[in-house]
C-alpha cells in the first residue's frame, strides 16, 4: 500500500485507498499508546513544527503527542508568542523556521487555503491541522477510524451531521472522507448553516432534525462557532436549541446502536445536553484517544518512517 503524497492538505486530495491506508496504519499505532513506554523510534531525528495560528486544545496536543511517541523533535509555535504579532508575514515566518531544517510543518490557520499557500513554496511536508472553514483532514480521518472501530464498517452507514456545516471544516472533511468510504451523509441545520449548494459535495440535506435522524447509524453534532458566525444565522440560541439540540428523545429516532460524535469543544446545553455527551452512546472521548494514533499514522506515512521500525 503506497501513500504517494508529500503533504496532507485536505481529504479532497485523497483517494479511498489512501484513506484506508491511513486507517490501517493507525490500527498498528493504536497499541503503542497503551504501552508502558509509549514510544517508537521511527521518526528519530526528524524536526516537526506545530504552527498554531488559532487556539486549540485537542488537535495541538494530539499532534504533539503523536510526534513525541514517534520520537521526533517538535517545537510548538503560537501566534501570540511569535513575531507574527509584530507583523511578520506568513511566508517570512515559514522561511525562517525552515532555515532551521524542519521536516514537517503542521499548520492551523484561520484563513482557508493557508496550508496550500505555504505548500506552494516551502520544502517541508505540510500538514493541515484545520484551515478556516475549509478542511480539517486529520479530524475526518480519526472520525472515520472511530466509526470503523465501533461499527466495523463504513459502507452503507447513515451519518447525520448537525449544525453549522458551512463554516465547519470538520463537516467538510467528513463529508468527503465518509462518502469516499461508502457512507451516506445527511446534513441538518438552519439554511444559513446548511445551504443547498453543499449537496454538490455529495451530501443530502434535511432541515427537519427529527426526520434527518431516522435510522441514522452515526450522529455527529457540531459546535456553534461564535467566532466565525454572522448575525441572524438563526434567531436565538434558545430557538436553535429547540430545533437542533440533540436530546435523548431525539436520539431515539436514530438506530438503537447509533453512536454520538462531536469534534469538540462542546457548547453543552446548546447542540448537546450534558447527559447526552456522557451517555453510553457517546464516543466523544474515544475520538480524542484515536486522534493520536491517526496523527501518528499521518506523520509516519508522510515523513517516510520505515515499516520494520514500528515494532522496534
Partner 1 sequence: MRLLLKNGRVIDPVSGRDETLDLLIEKGKIVECKPQIKTTDARVMDVSRKVVLPGLIDMHVHLREPGQEYKETIQSGGTAAARGGFTAVACMPNTKPVNDRRDVTEFIRTEARRHSPVHVFPIAAITLNLEGENLTDMAELKKAGAVAFSDDGHSVVDSQVMRRAMEYARMNDLLLIDHCEDPNLTASGVMHEGAVSYAIGLRGIPSAGEEVIVARDITLAGHFNARLHIAHLSTAGSADMVRAAKKQGIAITAEVTPHHVLLSDNHLRGYDTNYKMSPPLRGESDIKALIKAVQDGTIDVFVTDHAPHSPDDKEMEFDYAPFGIIGLESAVPLLLDRFVHSGLISLQRFAEMLSSNPARILGLEGKGRIEPGADADLTVLNLSKKHTIDVSAFASKGRNCPFNGWTVLGQPEITIVGGRVVYEAV
Residues within the interface to partner 1 (CB under 8 A): 12, 89-91, 109-114, 116-117, 131-135, 166, 169, 172, 195, 197-198, 200-201, 230
How is residue 291 written as a grid cell?
486522534
Q: Measured from the CB atom, is 109 or 262 closer to partner 1?
A: 109
CB of 94 to partner 1, least distance (A): 12
Cβ distance to partner 1 smaller for residue 23 or 203:
203
- The answer to whether the beta carbons of residues 80 and 86 sit under 8 Å apart is no
Nearest approach, Cβ of residue 167 and partner 1 (Å): 8
Cell of 172: 467538510
75 or 201: whose CB is closer to partner 1? 201
Minimum CB separation from partner 1 for residue 112, in Å?
4
Which DSSP state fits 229?
P
The C-alpha cell that represents 271 in the structure block = 447542540
| Calpha distance 210→162 (Å, rounded) | 11
- Between residues 201 and 270, which has the closer beta carbon with respect to partner 1? 201
Going from the C-alpha of 198 to that of each of 28, 100, 260, 284, 293, the distances in angstroms are 35, 42, 22, 25, 30
Distances (CA, A) of 91 to 40, 88, 96, 104: 33, 8, 9, 15
Beta carbon of residue 173, minimum distance to partner 1 (angstroms, whole number): 10
Q: Which is nearer to partner 1, 52 or 300 (CB)?
A: 52
3 state SS of 135: strand
Exposure of 124 in the CB half-sphere (CA atoms within 13 A) = 27
Nearest distance, CB of residue 93 and partner 1, angstroms: 11
**Cβ burial, residue 57 (10 Å; 0-12/13-18/19+):** exposed
Nearer to partner 1, 46 or 134 (CB): 134
Nearer to partner 1, 119 or 272 (CB): 119
| Minimal distance, residue 269 CB to partner 1, in Å | 28
- How many angstroms separate the CA atoms of 232 and 211, rounded? 24
CB of 62 to partner 1, least distance (A): 21
Which CB, 67 or 173, lies closer to partner 1?
Answer: 173
Task: Please state, in angstroms and rounded to a whole number, the distance separating the CA atoms of residues 1 and 177.
Answer: 18
Q: C-beta of 172: minimal distance to partner 1 in Å?
A: 7
- Please work out, in degrees rounded to the nearest 5, the angle formed at the alpha carbon of residue 259 by the alpha carbons of 210 and 162: 45
Amino acid at each position: 500500500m503506497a501513500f504517494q503524497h508529500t503533504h496532507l492538505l485536505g481529504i479532497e486530495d485523497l483517494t479511498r485507498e489512501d484513506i484506508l491506508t491511513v486507517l490501517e496504519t493507525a490500527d498498528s499505532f493504536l497499541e503503542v499508546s497503551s504501552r508502558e513506554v509509549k514510544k517508537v523510534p521511527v521518526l528519530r531525528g526528524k524536526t516537526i513544527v506545530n504552527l498554531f495560528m488559532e487556539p486549540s486544545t485537542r488537535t495541538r496536543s494530539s499532534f504533539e503527542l503523536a510526534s513525541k511517541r514517534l520520537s521526533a523533535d517538535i517545537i510548538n509555535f503560537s501566534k501570540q508568542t511569535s513575531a507574527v504579532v509584530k507583523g511578520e508575514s506568513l511566508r517570512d515566518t515559514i522561511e525562517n523556521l525552515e532555515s532551521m531544517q524542519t521536516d514537517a510543518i503542521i499548520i492551523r490557520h484561520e484563513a482557508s487555503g493557508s496550508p496550500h499557500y505555504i505548500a506552494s513554496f516551502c520544502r517541508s511536508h505540510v500538514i493541515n491541522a484545520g484551515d478556516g472553514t475549509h478542511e480539517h483532514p486529520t479530524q475526518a480521518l480519526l472520525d472515520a477510524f472511530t466509526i470503523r472501530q465501533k461499527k466495523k464498517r463504513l459502507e452503507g452507514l447513515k451519518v447525520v451531521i448537525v449544525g453549522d456545516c458551512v463554516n465547519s471544516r470538520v463537516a467538510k472533511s467528513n463529508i468527503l472522507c465518509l462518502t469516499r468510504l461508502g457512507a451516506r451523509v445527511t446534513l441538518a441545520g438552519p439554511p444559513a448553516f446548511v445551504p443547498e449548494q453543499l449537496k454538490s459535495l455529495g451530501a443530502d440535506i434535511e432541515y427537519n432534525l427529527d426526520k434527518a435522524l431516522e435510522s441514522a447509524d452515526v450522529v455527529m453534532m457540531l459546535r456553534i462557532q461564535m467566532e466565525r458566525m454572522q448575525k441572524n444565522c438563526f434567531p436565538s440560541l434558545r430557538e436553535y436549541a429547540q430545533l437542533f439540540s440533540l436530546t435523548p428523545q431525539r436520539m431515539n429516532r436514530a438506530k438503537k446502536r447509533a453512536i454520538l460524535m462531536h469534534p469538540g469543544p462542546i457548547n453543552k446545553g446548546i447542540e448537546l445536553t450534558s447527559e447526552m455527551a456522557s451517555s453510553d452512546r457517546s464516543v466523544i472521548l474515544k475520538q480524542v484517544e484515536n486522534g493520536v494514533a491517526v496523527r501518528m499514522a499521518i506523520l509516519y506515512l508522510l515523513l517516510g518512517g520505515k515499516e520494520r521500525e514500528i515494532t522496534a
